[in-house]
Structure 1
Amino acid sequence: MRRITREDAIKAVGGADANDVVISQIIGTGATVDELAEAQAWIANDEPLMNTGRPLPSGRVGELVDILSELQAAEDDGDEPGGVPTANEG
C-alpha cells in the first residue's frame, strides 16, 4: 500500500488551504492513501457510517480525522469544532 505523499495531502486539504504544518502532520501519521480516503469519508459522512455500525475511526485514520476536522473547523471561521468523534479522544 502506498503511503501519503505531499501531493496526496495537498489534494486532501484542497490546495489553497494547504500549509506546510498541516501537510507535515498528515504525512507524519504514516498513513496510506486508502486510510486518507477513509478519513475523508468519515469527515463527509460521519452519521451514515456510524448508523451502519462502523466502529469509530482509530489509529492512523483517527489521527487523520482529527487533523482534517481541525482544519475544517478553522475554515468555518471559529464555529464550534464538531468533527467526528474518534476512539483516540477520551
Structure 2
Amino acid sequence: MARLYLIHCVANGEYFYKIGITYLAIKRRFRLKKIGYEFELMHFIESYNAEYIYDLEKALARRLKDFAYLTTKDFTGRTECYKFDSISVFMEALIVVTNK
C-alpha cells in the first residue's frame, strides 16, 4: 500500500508542512527516520496503485511550488516542504490535481 501524507512540523518557532510518500505506516516511517521536528499527521491518501501516489505527489509539488520552503534543519525530504498559513491551501491544490 502506497501512502501520500501531509504532516505539519514544528520546532523552535519554525513550522512548515511536508508532503511525502511511504509504504510504511506513517507513524512508523517517522519513528524510523527522525526529522528533528515534532509533527502531526494532517492528511493522507492510500492506494494500491503506487504510480498514482507518485504522480499525485509530483502534481502537488508543481501546484505548490510557490510555497516551497527550505527547512533550517537538514534531513532527507527537506525539499518536499512547504510554508502556507492553512491546510486549506493544500486541500485546494489536492482538489485541483485530482480533478484533472
Bigger helix fraction: 1
Higher RCO (C-alpha 8 Å, min separation 6): 2
Q: Fold-level match, TM-score > 0.5?
A: no
Bigger strand fraction: 2
Instruction: Report the TM-score when normalising by structure 2.
Output: 0.29
